[in-house]
Amino acid sequence: MKKTFKILFLVLIIFSVVSQIFNIWLVNSVDAQSIAASRLQSKIERLREQNSIIETEVWQYASYSNVASRAATLGFGNKKDFITLGAPQKLAIR
Amino acid sequence: MKKENTARSLIVFISIVGLYLILVLNLFYWQVMRGKELKAMGFDQSSSSIDVPAKRGDILTSDGFPLATNTISYLVYTNPKVIKDKKTYALKVSEILGLDEASISAKLNSNLFWVKIGEFVDPGQKDALSKLNLPGMGFEQQPLRFYPESSMAAQLVGFLGKNEKGSDHGYFGLEGFYNEQLKGRDGKIIAIRDALGTPILNDIREEKKIDGRTIQLTVDRSVQFIAERNLKKGVEQFDAVGASVVIMDSKTGGILAMATYPQFDPQKYWEFDQKTYKNPVVSSLYEPGSTFKTLVMSSAIDEGAVTPSTRCDICSGPVRIGEYEIETWNGKYFANTTMAEVIEHSDNTGMVFVGRKMGLDNLLSYFKKFGVGENTGIDLQGEVSAEIKDEKDWYSIDAATATFGQGISMTSIELITAVNSIANNGVMMKPYVVSKIVTNEGKEIEIAPKEIRRTIKESTAKVMTAIMVDAVEKGEAKFAKIEDYKIAGKTGTAQIPVAGHYDPNQTIASFVGFFPAGDPKITMLVIFDRPQNSIYGSETAAPIFFSIARDLIRYYNIPPSN
């Protein structure tokens, strides 16, 4: 009886240690907050960050205020003349 | 003995009932009255949560370009305890962040383990700091509202600030009006933990965030740019205190551009005078002056009180009303002038004649039809209107001056909405800025143009358009008109009331009109606040109106009228 009790007690201790180790392994690998998932998550975050920076740069370069100021430095100006075609122009006579 | 037993039983019974009641009341107190609080406390102890902020929706122009969107910035912090050479450290950081070296030094000399060095630092500066490998330095991402076009349409867009709780909140313009739609709802990730604090597998609960909705505007970025460029040119040329332009799609009431000067940068709104945050187009009242004559004349023609050829029999000189004398703006009088000429010459005495022909009750009834004294309902924050007083409170001089736009207060949006009904064959359209709302699931909610009411008959609108075309062709602003294009318009020069009288040298100069007159596409109002080089609308607002019109004709490829 005493021996049986000891074996049972030992089995229970081994089981609890194994299950605890298994739990730790699960938490670190399968869980949504695991180390592997965290690595993936931080990679996603890094890419998202880079994407956001690039997107911001695109908007900045494509903004009219930026295009207008760059155009001015390149020598482009506002068209002063205003031409309208009220009637069809005569074709050149050969 | 029996009596004694009964009393004892009664005491026991009452005691049991009493104790039971105390138990019930106690349970009620803990479970009902403090139930929610205790449940939350228990939940807090057994879980840990991370807030997932919702992404604020974008504000896009009609071509899909963002006037407001989101980007990332960084909070820079450090641990002063691990820094050896604090002076060099402060110098390097201040050079990159453009901050005062002394204030950084003060932070580094504090007896703390964590100090904030800078906020909303851009990625370039963050990279530069990272390369220095400074001890103790760390970065934390901070979401930032970003306005790619800087100050373009600033008063229309508004800005994102903080409310009293320190949370993001939209103020003014679209950021304010559509704050609830744009902000979305923050989410949460909740991990349930056991007594030792270990997360319990598969027991992660998530309150999903709902990203804000994106709003697409009727505003055309190119038209807005054209309007702002011309407006700036006008303000500098005429040395005006301020100015604004509203450009509306004549058929729908959709706002194509709403430009205001002076502007502010919504990215750094705190660096600007708070007065500039307000959108004067919807929030500032002014006396419309002669531009208002178009509404009064339309009303009189619609009512049958006058026709374009009716002749004025009181226009040969100033008109006396009680102790007041009504004069023309330039001292010139035209005896027996026609109604068409009254608009062409912007004749105040002719308008008094029109008012008399109509009668006050009819005049007020048409004011109501044109929406004078009521909000247009435009989807922008801060719209105001001045109430029109009751008929019994009007003196004859009030009725007389109202016919030429004096003593009546309106907002620019009120006036352009009313005048646009002439362009739109007598149907008044509700002005609106947002054409589409896109939910976070990608569902598109289209916002259709909305008719408010009919103001005048279609035939009246046609007659009034012809009169306004004549006013452009032959009126004071004829030097600025565009050859081969029929444009209907009217100038306005309103004196500003100061301390009970009108200051003749301080005016609001304006021009309202629409084109092409045959089938209007664009309705536009240009206003200059206190121009110094010339006080007249014909010499300030009109040339800018036609300058913008020229650009728009080119942009929209509008063919000539003839």
For B45, the token pair is: 């102890």
Asked if residue A89 has pLDDT above 60, the reply is no
Q: Do A63 and B71 touch (CB under 8 A)?
A: no
The CA–CA distances, whole Å, from B148 to A47, A65, B55, B153, B266 equal: 22, 9, 17, 11, 10
How far apart CA B260 and CA B274 sit, in angstroms, is 14
Pairing of strands B59-60, B214-217: parallel
What backbone torsions phi and psi does residue B11 show, to the nearest 5 degrees? Answer: -65, -45
Per-residue confidence (pLDDT) for residue B228, from 0 to 100: 95
Lowest-pLDDT choice from A14-28, B182-196, B356-370: B182-196
- Asked if A67 is an interface residue toward chain B (Cβ–Cβ < 8 A), one would say no
User: Is A82 within the bounds of a domain?
Assistant: no
Is-contact A77 B164, C-beta < 8 A?
Answer: no
Residue B509 three-state SS? strand
B31-54 mean pLDDT:
82
Going by the DSSP 8-state scheme, the letter that residue B210 receives in this structure is B
Tell me which residue in B198, B225, B550 faces A82 most closely, judged by beta carbons.
B550
Asked if residue B33 has pLDDT above 70, the reply is yes
- Asked if A89 is an interface residue toward chain B (Cβ–Cβ < 8 A), one would say no
pLDDT in tens, B312-350: 999 888 888 888 888 888 788 888 899 999 999 999 999
- Asked if A51 is an interface residue toward chain B (Cβ–Cβ < 8 A), one would say no
User: Is A13 within the bounds of a domain?
Assistant: yes
Residues whose CB is less than 8 angstroms from the CB of residue B151 and which lie 6 or more positions away in sequence, other chains included: A65, B263, B264, B265, B266
ipTM: 0.72
User: How far B63 CA lies from chain A's nearest CA (Å)?
Assistant: 12
User: Is A25 within the bounds of a domain?
Assistant: yes
pLDDT confidence of B201, banded at 50, 70, 90? low
Number of domains chain A contains:
2
Based on the fold, state whether residues A39 and A23 are members of the same structural domain: no
- Asked if A31 is an interface residue toward chain B (Cβ–Cβ < 8 A), one would say yes
A34 vs B220, higher pLDDT? B220
Rank B131-140, B217-226, B388-397 by mean pLDDT and report only the highest.
B217-226
B32-38 mean pLDDT:
88
The CA–CA distances, whole Å, from B364 to B371, B372, B416 equal: 11, 9, 19
User: Is A84 within the bounds of a domain?
Assistant: no
How far apart CA B447 and CA B216 sit, in angstroms, is 10
Residue B156 three-state SS? helix
Q: Residue-wise over B389-425: b if at least 16 C-beta within 10 A, else e? A: eeeeebeeeebbbbbbbbbbbbbbbbbbbbbbbbbbb
B366-391 mean pLDDT:
93
Length, in residues, of chain B: 562
Per-residue confidence (pLDDT) for residue A79, from 0 to 100: 66
Per-residue confidence (pLDDT) for residue A84, from 0 to 100: 55
Per-residue confidence (pLDDT) for residue A82, from 0 to 100: 59
Residue B517, judged by CB atoms within 10 A of its CB (0-12, 13-18, 19+), counts as buried
Look at the block and give the residue holding tokens 């506002």.
Answer: A78
The CA–CA distances, whole Å, from A18 to A12, A21, B41 equal: 10, 5, 33
How far apart CA B131 and CA B110 sit, in angstroms, is 25
The CA–CA distances, whole Å, from A78 to A3, B202, B229, B444, B526 equal: 101, 64, 10, 38, 21
Rank B106-120, B288-302, B379-393 by mean pLDDT and report only the highest.
B288-302
Cα of B491 vs its chain's centroid, Å? 25
Single-letter residue type at B29: Y
Cis peptide before B516 (omega within 30 of 0): yes
Per-residue confidence (pLDDT) for residue B341, from 0 to 100: 93
**What's the helix, strand, coil split of chain B in %, to 5?**
40, 25, 35
Is-contact B264 B151, C-beta < 8 A?
Answer: yes
Q: Which is nearest to B297 in space by CA: B228, B343, B264, B251?
A: B343
How far apart CA B530 and CA B304 sit, in angstroms, is 37
Per-residue confidence (pLDDT) for residue A81, from 0 to 100: 61
Asked if residue B414 has pLDDT above 80, the reply is yes
Is-contact B338 B323, C-beta < 8 A?
Answer: no
How far apart CA A3 and CA B417 sit, in angstroms, is 97
Chain B stretch 459-518, residues whose beta carbon is closer than 8 A to a beta carbon of chain A: 482-485
B86-94 mean pLDDT:
91
Look at the block and give the residue holding tokens 């991990």.
Answer: B191
B53 vs A5, higher pLDDT? A5
For B23, the token pair is: 């138990």
The mean pLDDT of chain B is 90
Based on the fold, state whether residues A43 and A65 are members of the same structural domain: yes
- Asked if B222 is an interface residue toward chain A (Cβ–Cβ < 8 A), one would say yes
User: Is A92 within the bounds of a domain?
Assistant: no
Per-residue confidence (pLDDT) for residue B494, from 0 to 100: 84
Per-residue confidence (pLDDT) for residue B466, from 0 to 100: 96
Asked if residue A87 has pLDDT above 60, the reply is no
Asked if residue A94 has pLDDT above 60, the reply is no
Per-residue confidence (pLDDT) for residue A54, from 0 to 100: 93
A59-71 mean pLDDT:
91
pLDDT over 90 for what percent of chain B?
63
User: Is A20 within the bounds of a domain?
Assistant: yes
Can you give the pTM of this predicted structure?
Answer: 0.82
Residue B308, judged by CB atoms within 10 A of its CB (0-12, 13-18, 19+), counts as middle
Pairing of strands B199-207, B214-217: unpaired
- Asked if A59 is an interface residue toward chain B (Cβ–Cβ < 8 A), one would say yes
pLDDT confidence of A39, banded at 50, 70, 90? confident
pLDDT confidence of B422, banded at 50, 70, 90? very high
pLDDT confidence of B153, banded at 50, 70, 90? very high
In chain B, residues with a C-beta closer than 8 Å to the C-beta of A56 are 71, 146, 148
pLDDT over 70 for what percent of chain B?
97
pLDDT confidence of A75, banded at 50, 70, 90? confident
pLDDT confidence of B495, banded at 50, 70, 90? confident
Based on the fold, state whether residues A62 and A40 are members of the same structural domain: yes
Length, in residues, of chain A: 94
Chain B stretch 37-96, residues whose beta carbon is closer than 8 A to a beta carbon of chain A: 65-66, 69-72
B133-145 mean pLDDT:
88
Asked if residue B498 has pLDDT above 90, the reply is no
Q: In which domain, by residue range, is A4 found?
A: 1-31
Asked if residue A30 has pLDDT above 80, the reply is no
Q: Do B225 and A64 touch (CB under 8 A)?
A: yes
Per-residue confidence (pLDDT) for residue B497, from 0 to 100: 75
Strand partners, B206: B189
Q: How many CB pairs under 8 A join A and B?
A: 63
Which residue of chain B comes nearest to A59, CA vs CA? B148
Based on the fold, state whether residues A40 and A27 are members of the same structural domain: no
For B338, the token pair is: 């026609």
Chain B stretch 532-561, residues whose beta carbon is closer than 8 A to a beta carbon of chain A: 550, 553-554, 560
A39 vs B269, higher pLDDT? B269
Asked if residue B204 has pLDDT above 70, the reply is no
B260-273 mean pLDDT:
93
Strand partners, B314: none
Q: Could you tell me the residue ranges of all domains in chain B?
A: 52-187, 221-556
- Asked if B329 is an interface residue toward chain A (Cβ–Cβ < 8 A), one would say no
Q: Give me the architecture of the B52-187 domain, per CATH.
A: Alpha-Beta Complex (3.90)
Q: Do A53 and B72 touch (CB under 8 A)?
A: yes
Per-residue confidence (pLDDT) for residue B300, from 0 to 100: 96
- Asked if B521 is an interface residue toward chain A (Cβ–Cβ < 8 A), one would say no
Alpha helices in B62-211 (DSSP H): 86-97, 101-108, 123-132, 154-157, 173-177, 179-183
User: Is A89 within the bounds of a domain?
Assistant: no
Per-residue confidence (pLDDT) for residue B416, from 0 to 100: 97
Based on the fold, state whether residues A72 and A38 are members of the same structural domain: yes
- CA-CA-CA-CA torsion for B483, B484, B486, B490, nearest 10 degrees? 0
For B64, the token pair is: 């899909």
Per-residue confidence (pLDDT) for residue B487, from 0 to 100: 95
pLDDT confidence of B190, banded at 50, 70, 90? confident
Based on the fold, state whether residues A27 and A58 are members of the same structural domain: no
Based on the fold, state whether residues A47 and A66 are members of the same structural domain: yes
CATH tag for B221-556 (out of 3.40.50.720, 3.30.930.10, 3.40.710.10, 3.40.50.12780): 3.40.710.10
Per-residue confidence (pLDDT) for residue A32, from 0 to 100: 67
